[in-house]
Chain A
Amino acid sequence: MRFLKKLGLSMLFASVLALGTTSANAECKARLGDFDWSSANIHTAISAFILEKGYGCQVEVTKGSTTPIMAAHYDKQLDVITEVWYDNIIANYEPYVENGTIMNIGVNTPDSQQAFYVDKTTADKYNLKSVEDMKDPKIAALFTDPEDPSKGRMTSCISGWTCYTVNLVKQKEYGLDEFYTNFDPGSGGALDAAIAGAFAKKKPIFTYYWAPTGLMGKVDLVRLTEPKFSKKCWDDMSAVVEDIKANGPDAYKPSCACEYRDMALTKSVLTEWAKAHPKETKFLEKYTVPTATVNKMLAFYEDESDGDMELTAREFLKTESMWKKWVPAAVAKKVTAAL
């Protein structure tokens, strides 16, 4: 009994302590949405650190894959998304900008890429430069899909992500679907592991991938050229993509396909949150990190930080000075003090 009493008392004490710390900075509360790939994690870690230490915000990070996180954002459950792959989700994102729920607050990484890649050894050996070069049964045989040996395997995007459907349409438009499967790796980690595994065993790989990523800095992938990006073509394709997402693969109609635009990744905030937190929004608007720096930080994250994202954010704040231009001097001082 006495033990129980003690336990109860100490728990009460602990909860009072906890309440005390939270109420101290309750004037700023930020719910950040994070995704299951590293470049988003790093931006979230850096902005969370600045918001927490510099602005005294109470930060809460929720991690998930694109669809649920963006849905929560549209549903006003998440205030800030630090990395939005705008072009991929343009069709479902724009309506919420138009009705004033959310705001697109500019670029986070100016020049990211997503494309089809082949490992360099194979690309050099068989002179593979564009998706057209892949349309050859002999080339497809190099990448044989063990589960469907009549075709080659193109390791694609994750089936819940929009890029999976985009790749599906692209394959059909380019005529790749006769030679290759659109293989869903199931999750981001599995895709990385598949690429890393192929390189470790020196086996040919044909895959969809993107930069900035830590893995991109470690393996030698050659980007295959596709028809040049055109707004009209992309919009036509996006319409088909959304149709397939809603009604299944039978909804496919021949349209158009072109390369992914080397696009700017954007940031997004809830309009309500931005109105309540003008200072913090100003900082987030100014927040932008070049791809080279992101790749560098990702390499640090994977090789030196022992997988510690907060340490990586600290490293960024310590070694780079670009962030001091995003915040007022007083805030910068607080952040530096917390390092």
Chain B
Amino acid sequence: MGLFLLLKFTRHMKKNKKLYVNLGLLSFFIWLLIFSYNSSKRKPENVSDLLNDFSWLHQWPKWLDLPLMKYINIIFKKLNETYGWIFEAINNFLLWQLMTLKNFLILAPWPLVVLGVAAIAYFASGKKIGTTVFVGFCTFFIGFLHPIFWTKAIETTSIMLISIFLCVTFGIPVGILMSRSERIRDKILPILDLMQTIPAFVYLIPGIMLFGLGAVPAIIATFIYAVPPLVRLTDLGIRLVDKEVTEAADAFGADTKQKLFGVQLPLALPNIMQGINQATMMALAMVVIASMIGTRGLGDEVLLGLQQLNVGRAAEAGIAIVLLAIVLDRITQSYGERLQARNMPTKKEKN
């Protein structure tokens, strides 16, 4: 009998699932209201006061305040005290990577670095001379604007390269996962929205307390800000692969792994490249903000120009950041174009 009732009840629950979920949410909301009222320090002495004096309808009442801040602070403090060593380890690892890259680039003679960047542009663009010369000149002009900018640009670039490396190692797998399951995508999309919209300072300040001042919180912040477009474009790129092509792969008996690495990823590569390009541009946008937490680099110069009311200094540094953006954009973009051209042989024949 009892079992029967339970069975009936579960069936009933299943049928009206949505209703119960909504009811649950409503009761949770009411509980929140009561909870925050009770924990507020500025509530009236008696609940009945609320019915006698309606002035609280006029202005948002001080007692109608979710005590989220208090709990976040408690959790954060706990995190810092108990799990500080984990963040320390991450910090040391990222910093070691960064210092190695930075010291290598700084110790290398600058003409060699300029030539190196031009060489990368040359091969990435498929041996286009125009792009190569343009990129080479832009690189040269960063140092030409102000000798200090050369080292600063290298510092900025190192931070960005590490962030982009993190973006690629985490972003592409997540994008692939999203493209394969509707459910995972529904869960991840809001998180990506959150990452793109939440103001950077919200996670920069706790970042300092966890990782210490300097480059590492900036790398983490840049990662948070720059990874969403890469995830989105990887997901989109794989889903845009022609159905016929994947069907053909199925017909040849390819398993999931072969299909992914042999068909879907190569065809999605232009889109993924675009994602990397977008992530790079977003990362550059973080440069100035990152300098507000003691990160060395070009953003530092902009901030200093601003704080000293030195228009020329800020503008020079701003132009240097734009030049750096052009260099990185041209390299990634032209590589993407080349991939695209390779993936569309029919179009090439028509031309």
Select the stretch in B77-85, B176-184, B273-281, B315-323 that faces chain A: B77-85
Question: Given A147-B214, A159-B300, A197-B208, are A185 and B81 also a contact pair (CB < 8 Å)?
Answer: no
Using CB atoms, name the residue of chain B closest to A66: B307
CA A62 – CA B309 in complex, angstroms?
Answer: 17
**Cβ of B309 and Cβ of A201 under 8 Å apart?**
no
Question: Given A189-B205, A190-B213, are A68 and B307 also a contact pair (CB < 8 Å)?
Answer: yes
**Cβ of A183 and Cβ of B294 under 8 Å apart?**
yes
**Cβ of A146 and Cβ of B212 under 8 Å apart?**
yes
Cβ of A238 to closest chain B Cβ, rounded Å: 17
Contact residue among B204, B213, B307 (Cβ-Cβ distance under 8 Å from A159)? B307
**Cβ of A186 and Cβ of B209 under 8 Å apart?**
no
Contact residue among A67, A68, A147, A190 (Cβ-Cβ distance under 8 Å from B208)? A190
**Cβ of B212 and Cβ of A190 under 8 Å apart?**
no
**Cβ of A197 and Cβ of B209 under 8 Å apart?**
yes
Residues of B with C-beta under 8 A to A67: 307-309
**Cβ of B296 and Cβ of A201 under 8 Å apart?**
no
Could you tell me which residues of chain A, from 17 to 74, have a CB within 8 Å of some CB in chain B?
65-68, 71
Residues of A with C-beta under 8 A to B99: 147
Query: Does A286 lie at the interface of the complex (its beta carbon under 8 Å from any beta carbon of B)?
Result: no
**Cβ of A200 and Cβ of B81 under 8 Å apart?**
yes
Residues of A with C-beta under 8 A to B117: none
CA A121 – CA B43 in complex, angstroms?
Answer: 41
Centre residue among B88, B208, B306 by max chain A CB count within 10 A: B208
Query: Does B331 lie at the interface of the complex (its beta carbon under 8 Å from any beta carbon of A)?
Result: no
Question: Given A186-B294, A201-B80, are A245 and B213 also a contact pair (CB < 8 Å)?
Answer: no
Residues of A with C-beta under 8 A to B304: 159-160
Residues of A with C-beta under 8 A to B88: 201
CA A200 – CA B306 in complex, angstroms?
Answer: 32
Residues of B with C-beta under 8 A to A66: 307
Question: Given A65-B307, A146-B214, are A196 and B293 also a contact pair (CB < 8 Å)?
Answer: no
Query: Does A224 lie at the interface of the complex (its beta carbon under 8 Å from any beta carbon of B)?
Result: no
Could you tell me which residues of chain B, from 127 to 157, have a CB within 8 Å of some CB in chain A?
none
CA A65 – CA B69 in complex, angstroms?
Answer: 26
Cβ of B91 to closest chain A Cβ, rounded Å: 7
Query: Does A320 lie at the interface of the complex (its beta carbon under 8 Å from any beta carbon of B)?
Result: no
Contact residue among A185, A306, A307 (Cβ-Cβ distance under 8 Å from B294)? A185
**Cβ of B293 and Cβ of A197 under 8 Å apart?**
no
Query: Does B215 lie at the interface of the complex (its beta carbon under 8 Å from any beta carbon of A)?
Result: yes
Residues of B with C-beta under 8 A to A158: 307
Query: Does B295 lie at the interface of the complex (its beta carbon under 8 Å from any beta carbon of A)?
Result: yes
CA A178 – CA B340 in complex, angstroms?
Answer: 54
Using CB atoms, name the residue of chain A closest to B155: A147
Contact residue among A65, A146, A186, A193 (Cβ-Cβ distance under 8 Å from B295)? A186
Query: Does A173 lie at the interface of the complex (its beta carbon under 8 Å from any beta carbon of B)?
Result: no
**Cβ of B292 and Cβ of A147 under 8 Å apart?**
no
Contact residue among B291, B296, B303, B308 (Cβ-Cβ distance under 8 Å from A245)? B308
Residues of B with C-beta under 8 A to A266: none
Mask: chain B, 72-94; 1 = CB below 8 Å from A; 0 = not = 00000100110010001001100
Query: Does A256 lie at the interface of the complex (its beta carbon under 8 Å from any beta carbon of B)?
Result: no
Between-chain CB contacts (< 8 Å), 22 pairs? A65-B307, A67-B308, A71-B309, A147-B215, A159-B304, A160-B304, A183-B294, A184-B294, A185-B293, A186-B293, A186-B300, A186-B303, A190-B205, A190-B293, A193-B206, A193-B213, A194-B294, A197-B80, A197-B212, A198-B212, A304-B41, A306-B69
Enumerate chain A interface residues (CB-CB to B < 8 A): 65-68, 71, 146-147, 155, 158-161, 183-187, 189-190, 193-194, 196-198, 200-201, 245, 304, 306-307
User: Given A190-B205, A197-B80, list of 7 further CB < 8 A pairs?
Assistant: A65-B307, A68-B307, A186-B213, A194-B209, A194-B213, A197-B212, A200-B80
Leading 6 A-B pairs by shortest Cβ distance: A160-B307, A197-B209, A186-B294, A193-B208, A185-B294, A186-B292
